[in-house]
A and B are shown apart, each in its own frame.
Chain A
Amino acid sequence: MTKKKMYCLISVVITLSLVLGCISCAPKAAAPAEKPAAKRTVTVTVGALLDESGPTATSTLPGVYGLRDFNDYVNKKGGLDWSGGKVIVQVEEYDNRYDPSLSLPAYEKWAARGIPLIITHQSTDNLGLKDRAARDQIVILTLSPTSGALMPPGWVFATYPSYADSFTGFLDWVKKTWDWKGKGTPRVATLTWDTAYGKAHMCAVDYAKEIGIDYVGTEYTTTLPTDITPQVTRLKAMKADYVFTQAVTPIAVYLKDFKRLGFNGRLVVGLNTGLSEWIPIAGVDTAAGTLSVKGLTMISAEPEDSRYMKKAREVTEFLGVTRDLRALTFYPNGTSGIMLIQDIIVRALDKVGDPDKVTGKVLYDTLLETKKYDTLGATMPLSYDETQRRGSMGIRMYEAQPDGNVTMIQDWMVVHDALKHYPECAK
């Protein structure tokens, strides 16, 4: 190569190096400013397995009405606010008629679609789906706090204490209010359905002995007894002062036969049993003195100016539905459940930013972060953590009065945790 050509080549290389160097060092042009994401309305769908026409529909349906009303109210107002806009919570209901064989196919369809949360109301579903829900990472929010589903803690959550917890709460109330000096040791018995649900509190009967109360015996009836003479005869022989029941539909028969046979023990109805609706059927005099343990507020006894009643009236008036709210004992069951669901969905969306990313795991984590969520007084404020799936551990006690009204006789009191103390309860 001649010297002239070599100098030319060197010049070109140096020039190119300089040019390339300048290009790489040149400040990058600022990226065009990002436009803020447009506010949008998204939908998150949850499932609901409910007995709407089966044997427990009497207790399920009022809760369903509460769930629907409070959800429709929000949706018709455009949905809930989240950081990205609005969210509509859509509840797909499935009537399983209390038949677990109908629940399973519905569950599988929802799981296949990636539904992140399912509402349930039956112990059979809670127990049957607990392991599947953990496997599929689907949150189950139950309106029926089945002990074995809530402990050990898994993917099943409840908004109030279990049946066993409510029984211990009742026993604590007896201990607190009983005239020990005048009447000696109180005697408690059970009269209940001969089913898993009916016996759900039985695992905690040992607590009676622990606090000095005599547990004197258990009597069973079928779900629709027309007469309980033999059972009441035996309860009389036991001299029971209180008779606890988990039964839901035969309360009028129980009360009438108590009176007919001259049995003075007080019937105590459990979490899922109404009271107000049985008073006219049993008769005001017959029902007077009947007690009720509730993990939710009893709407028939709720003051009209309470936060809860004001909201319930506002909702039903807005929707134009005519409901005798006072007769729907389990209405707060549905409202507290859907309010919690709405809250965790909003918080989950704020975290993940996209409804497709609101998975069961995200909702599960959001639930565990929930502390003191206010259900307008329908329950004690709800809190969950790694060891606790029952949002509230509080109960209230109510009593049927001689004038036919139901009044609260014990405000929220925290119950003895039966599921943690009695391993039988967790089965």
Chain B
Amino acid sequence: MVTGIITAVITGALIGCVYSLIALGIVLIYKTTQVFNLAQGEMLLIGTWLTWTMITVANLPFWLSLIIALLFSILLGMLIERFILRPMLGQPLLPIIMITIGIFSLLRGISIYFWGGEVQSFPPLFPIEVITIGFIPVSTHLLAAAIMATLLVIVTYAYFRFTRGGLAMMATAENVMIAQSLGTNVKAAFSRSWAISAMVGTLSGVLLGSIMGIFFGLSDLSFKAFPVIILGGLESIPGVLVAGPIMGICESLGATFLDPMVGGGIGDIVPYVVMLIVLVIRPSGLFGYKIIERV
């Protein structure tokens, strides 16, 4: 029993790290542009499909395929921002969110049109062996994916915290007009956020695809990132790093303890229940900004 619980906790935490990476893509855009990008899952998928295409059709080595896919993702993110989102600057929030839903549908259609609905295998990025940490069996694949995801989140945080570009993006998020008046290239900041987000999406898609295979349903995993974002805080990069494993553990423990009581399927709901509780008690999340408006 204890072994089972500890195994569930560790595995949940590892999976949660991958959720963090997916969530990072959404937080990045929100942090800079205040737009909640509902198309993140599809951007993840397009980048993953491109990587697969370069490997299987163009017969390129994995690292080169990934670089090309990342470059394309950057371009895709910038194009979406420039031609679809930028004209909506200053518009109410709801139409902007609706537009991201439209982008979601468009990209889904593109992915199905070009790559179809079948499952495709992705070359394993890491060894498939199982290692034992103490008495806990851990998939090497999952462990490596979790480490990579964590490193990427830390690197992204460092970019925002310690580089001029990152600080410019944060300033833009705080107040566009003030940032602009101080000489910040706001449009470039917006563009950069979408580009980085698309890149992060591709990386998380490649990690997930190597575990589960690639098919268009992979993009639906982006919905698992929503509880992570809410718990961590919409604008907080450290928040997703903490919230991801927490939600992964909640999911895993929910499946361990609650599934036998109700017949199954509860594990995946638990993070959303936690999300609802967080929204009621602390809407800004663990590390998000509390906004106080003076009337």
Contacts and interface: CB of A to CB of B under 8 A. Distances in A.
Interface of A: 52-53, 55, 57-58, 60-62, 194, 218-231, 233-234, 249-250, 252-253, 256-257, 259-262, 274, 277-278, 280-281, 283, 285-286, 327-328
A229 B7 contact: yes
Given A58-B118, A61-B116, A261-B137, A194 B265 contact: yes
Given A226-B15, A229-B7, A53 B255 contact: no
Contacts, number: 125
Contact of A224 (B11, B109, B221, B267): B221
Interface of B: 4, 7-8, 11-12, 15, 18, 108-109, 112, 116-122, 124, 128, 130, 137-139, 141-142, 208, 211-213, 215-218, 220-221, 224, 251-252, 255-256, 259-260, 263-265, 267-268
Nearest to B4: A233
B12 A227 contact: yes
Contacts of A252: 211-213
Contact of B118 (A222, A280, A283, A327): A327
Contacts of B213: 249, 252, 277-278, 281
Contacts of B112: 52-53, 57
A283 B128 contact: yes
A266 to B, nearest CB: 18
Contact of B117 (A52, A253, A256, A283): A52
A194 B264 contact: yes
A332 to B, nearest CB: 15
B139 A260 contact: yes
Majority SS at the chain B contact face: helix
A218 B260 CA distance: 9
Given A230-B255, A256-B139, A286-B128, A61 B15 contact: no
A41 to B, nearest CB: 32
B117 A57 contact: yes
A57 B218 CA distance: 12
A227 B130 contact: no
B130 A249 contact: no
Nearest to B10: A229
A250 B212 contact: yes
B137 A230 contact: no
Enumerate the 3 nearest inter-chain pairs by beta-carbon distance, A residue then B residue, closest first.
Answer: A220-B264, A194-B265, A57-B117
Given A53-B109, A226-B15, A259-B130, A62 B137 contact: no
A88 to B, nearest CB: 26
B37 to A, nearest CB: 20
Contacts of A257: 139
Nearest to A97: B108
